[in-house]
Amino acid sequence: MGEGGTSALDGAAGELHHPKGEPDMDLVIREATVVDGTGGPAYKADVGIEDGRIAGIAREGGERLGGARVIEGDGHVVAPGFIDMHAHSDLAVLRDPSHEAKAAQGVTLEVLGQDGLSYAPVDDATREAIRSAITGWNGDGGDIDFDWSTVGGYLDRIDRQGTALNAAYLIPQGSVRMLAMGWADRPATGDEVAHMKRLVAEGMEQGAVGMSSGLTYTPGMYASDSELTELCRVVAAYDGYYCPHHRSYGAGALEAYEEMVTLTHEAGCALHLAHATMNFGVNKGKGPDLLALLDRALAGGADISLDTYPYTPGCTTLAAMLPSWANEGGPEAALARLADPVTTARIRQVMEVEGADGCHGVPIEWDAIEISGVSDPSLAEYVGRTVAASAALRGEEPFTTAHRLLVEDRLGSTILQHVGHEENVQAIMRHRVHTGGSDGILQGDKPHPRAYGTFPQYLGRYVRELGVLSLEECVAHLTGRAAARLRLKDRGLVREGYRADLVVFDPETVAAGSTFEKPRTLPTGIPHVLIDGRPVIEDGARTDVLAGRAVRREP
């Protein structure tokens, strides 16, 4: 449906029509339940939009607002658009600007550049290495014209091309380290640290909102705490935040969280903990321990937030499970090691007995590793099965199957890792500094359903069905709190003068359609999504509007 669209039946709840008479505003959402993103009580009102901003809010009982177009919101909620604090859509927003996977969820802003690896800043050599290293996240990029090298250039590209949703960007520390010193597993020299600090400063000046790390991914994981602290000092000088995928979500997870809290305290930098889970058997029931650690830091004045997705399995690449030393030097060096029988035997010992740092210090459980996607279509038979199940069908040991897949798919396979605990998921999402992040990887034949379902999953399952959060609390987690972390002065709330980035949903029917069996199914119960007052989703269907832009750090 185009930007103008065709009008729906007048008066139907949640649908759009064109009233007669002189309009006062461009668009009015009439008699909706406003959940404003503050966490305060919901109320009934008309919400008027003019020139892309919320121009009026008329509470129930007062004079109704008039508009050139009207969405009848009775029985529906109008809320700020959802903010995905952890997205892997770095190439997806360029490859498919319609971006229905996120738009249909009510997402109006994504934060890209996650886990320390992305496509800016780069030079020609590092761009190719990064494309290879994160093929499992974003595809190999062969369909993308990489006409940028800087953070500002990437954000400009988004603006030139246009996209469905707004996008903010984190400087990827692993990419920065690669630019300064390659894939080397060693301490950075003084000159190399100075080079990295300049790159971070340039990225912040060009509009990044902070810096990410992937401290179980090479080469970012080779950085010492002192190196990271120096980079965080630069981020803090620009009032940005540090978003680490820290060193372990398994063995030693609490210590790894504490390391990040201590490091950012030393640097004077705000901290946002990426996909803040407590996984693997060693952490069953330990969600409250993490929250106690954070509460102590918050009581001491720390500026901390976190994001999670409302599912128990994780998602990454099969290559990420390798010990870090096996990935040193980049993908080609890793493949060379996997071709050597002696080195492969050592890799197996570390993964299956000792616990590789890539697998968070826990011996790998092949029956918990499900292949979700492959780069080589000839390997599709592996998708949807655990490594253990595929090995049984082949009459071989699981490591042999995994090794074959790593080599034949050239490290491009993605996995679901079934290692989470529902009680931890629920405990963490209740916390007052929690926000929502899909961690959605859109690649693969059978991606994690969180890519298509995170935000309606919160509203449908955890609000309506389980009552883990009230509707007002949940919306605040997904909107106002996230906008505050990003230091956005005019987004994240239903408030006069704010940008009209809004979602209209039915609280009785909103639900994630995506499942592990059918992960690309769109959600239900979200008829309208607006960005700057323009309909990205209208009457439940994607329009051709590309209202999204790069959202740069505000000076």
- For the segment 315-339, what is each residue's pLDDT rounded down to a tens digit? 899 999 999 999 999 999 999 999 9
Q: Assess contact for 273 and 305: CB atoms under 8 A.
A: yes
Distance separating alpha carbons of residues 36 and 313, to the nearest angstrom: 31
Q: Is the pLDDT of residue 13 over 90?
A: no
Distance separating alpha carbons of residues 97 and 104, to the nearest angstrom: 13
Confidence category of residue 555, pLDDT binned at 50, 70, 90: confident
Mean pLDDT to the nearest integer, 187-206: 98
pLDDT digits (tens, 9 = 90+) for 345-356: 999 999 999 999
pLDDT digits (tens, 9 = 90+) for 469-478: 999 999 999 9
CB atoms within 10 A of CB 285: 11
Confidence category of residue 17, pLDDT binned at 50, 70, 90: low
Residue with tokens 């009209």: 500
Looking at residue 264, its pLDDT comes to: 98
Mean pLDDT to the nearest integer, 527-541: 97
Q: Is the pLDDT of residue 451 over 60?
A: yes
Looking at residue 445, its pLDDT comes to: 86
Between 463 and 61, name the one with better pLDDT.
463
Distance separating alpha carbons of residues 120 and 200, to the nearest angstrom: 11
| Cis bond before residue 219 (omega within 30° of 0) | yes
Looking at residue 546, its pLDDT comes to: 96
Q: Is the pLDDT of residue 11 over 50?
A: no
pLDDT digits (tens, 9 = 90+) for 65-120: 999 999 999 999 999 999 999 999 999 999 999 999 999 999 999 999 999 999 99
In percent, the amount of the chain with pLDDT more than 90 equals 92
Q: Print burial letters for 356-367: b (CB count within 10 Å at least 16), e (below 16).
A: bbbbbbbebbbe
Mean pLDDT to the nearest integer, 179-192: 96
Mean pLDDT to the nearest integer, 358-377: 94
Phi then psi for 320, rounded to 5 degrees? -65, -20
Looking at residue 10, its pLDDT comes to: 36
- Long-range CB pairs of 257-264 (<8 Å, 24+ gap) are 257/290, 257/293, 257/294, 258/293, 259/225, 261/293, 261/294, 261/297, 261/302, 261/304, 263/225, 263/228, 263/229, 263/232, 264/232, 264/302, 264/304
Tell me what percent of the chain is helix, strand and coil, each rounded to the nearest 5: 35, 20, 45
Q: Is the pLDDT of residue 186 over 50?
A: yes
| DSSP codes joined into one string, 258-293 | HHHHHHHHHHT-EEEETT----SGGGTT-HHHHHHH
Q: Assess contact for 393 and 379: CB atoms under 8 A.
A: no
Phi then psi for 210, rounded to 5 degrees? 170, -160
Across the chain, mean pLDDT equals 94
